[in-house]
Amino acid sequence: MTTGLEGKVGLVTGGTSGIGRDTAILFAKAGVKVVVAGRREPEGQETIELVRSAGGDGVFVKTDVSKAAEVEELIHQAVEKFGRLDIAFNNAGIEGVWVPIVNQSEKDWDRTIGINLKGVWLCLKYEIRQMLKQGAGGAIVNMASISGLIGSLGAGAYSASKHGVVGLTKTAALETARNGIRINAVCPAAIETSMAERLFGAPEVHKYVLGCHPIGRFGKPAEVAEAVVWMCSDRASFMTGQSLVLDGGFLAGPNPPS
Ligand code: NAD
């Protein structure tokens, strides 16, 4: 069965590594022309090479998603290159500094919220404007996290930013449903990327976090990509305003000892 995404134009932010890169490649395999946005030019070009090796077409646009002018220019460049914008995965994010709230600096709080939450809002703003102008619907997935649904010790700013993304997703979905634009979020638990390595790489931390995943392993970026591509396809045509959890059973309940 095909995804029905052939010939569509899709945007992936934070596509220079991890989940974003794997999603850009899977979009390409589904026939989507991919606009990859991120801050790191060499890694962005590397993603485009992988997109081309997968038989697709793509372009990298250097963008900091926390800056309004850069996000507006990103959408402009996407439309200039491929003529339209049909789908978007607002994935760019940082873990920030994980410390108790009492030790969190204002600078780190502002940076985390600025990229993870304001960045998603800016992307939504300019993506929706473009999709409304085209008048042919669209599909958007925002990257949240299970930290957008439960608290995470030491991750006040990160957790607040991801809870914000879940709320913003619902409002955006309400505002666009009648225009045929579907907007959802995805909430993964630990996924094997450089971010997870930075956060959970220390042996004791790794053991503890792994123990929270009943399935007995972390997820893979490609597993998140599969869900995102599905959510962007017409096969998910009745789904909007939802936050899809991909967590190996993390939120199902306490993990029984093995
Ligand atoms: P990653 O560090 O490999 O990817 C993050 C990407 O976002 C990078 O490409 C980075 O360059 C980009 N980015 C950061 N700040 C940016 C900015 N201001 N403008 C543009 N791009 C920017 O890690 P990842 O795990 O692939 O993370 C992707 C997303 O998934 C993040 O939003 C993260 O919070 C979320 N997430 C990750 C996990 C996990 O365990 N890995 C779990 C849940 C959610």
Q: Is the CB of 159 under 6 A from ligand 1?
A: no
Q: Does residue 256 lie within any of the structural domains?
A: no
Interval 61-84: pLDDT, tens: 999 999 999 999 999 999 999 999
Query: Looking at residue 254, what is its pLDDT?
Result: 82
Q: Known catalytic residue: 208?
A: no
Q: Does residue 216 lie within any of the structural domains?
A: no
Q: Does residue 217 lie within any of the structural domains?
A: no
Atom of ligand 1 nearest to the CA of 190: 40
Query: Looking at residue 255, what is its pLDDT?
Result: 77
For position 163, which CATH number holds? 3.40.50.720
Q: Is the CB of 190 under 6 A from ligand 1?
A: yes
Q: Does residue 258 lie within any of the structural domains?
A: no
Task: Please count the structural domains in the chain.
Answer: 1
Query: Looking at residue 2, what is its pLDDT?
Result: 79
**DSSP per position, the chain:** ---S-TT-EEEEETTTSHHHHHHHHHHHHTT-EEEEEES-HHHHHHHHHHHHHTT--EEEEE--TT-HHHHHHHHHHHHHHHS---EEEE--------B-GGG--HHHHHHHHIIIIIHHHHHHHHHHHHHHHHTS-EEEEEE--GGGTS--TTBHHHHHHHHHHHHHHHHHHHHHGGGTEEEEEEEES-BSSHHHHHHH-SHHHHHHHHHT-TTSS-B-HHHHHHHHHHHHSGGGTT--S-EEEESTTGGGSPPPP-
Catalytic residue among 27, 60, 158, 218: 158
Q: Is the CB of 40 under 6 A from ligand 1?
A: yes
Q: Does residue 147 lie within any of the structural domains?
A: yes
Q: Does residue 76 lie within any of the structural domains?
A: yes
Q: Is the CB of 171 under 6 A from ligand 1?
A: no
Q: By residue range, what is the domain housing residue 102?
A: 9-191+223-246
Per-residue pLDDT of the chain (258 residues), as tens digits, is: 678 999 999 999 999 999 999 999 999 999 999 999 999 999 999 999 999 999 999 999 999 999 999 999 999 999 999 999 999 999 999 999 999 999 999 999 999 999 999 999 999 999 999 999 999 999 999 999 999 999 999 999 999 999 999 999 999 999 999 999 999 999 999 999 999 999 999 999 999 999 999 999 999 999 999 999 999 999 999 999 999 999 999 999 987 766
Q: Does residue 145 lie within any of the structural domains?
A: yes
Query: Looking at residue 258, what is its pLDDT?
Result: 65
Query: Looking at residue 150, what is its pLDDT?
Result: 98
CA-nearest residue, atom 26 of ligand 1 = 18
Q: Does residue 120 lie within any of the structural domains?
A: yes
Query: Looking at residue 116, what is its pLDDT?
Result: 98
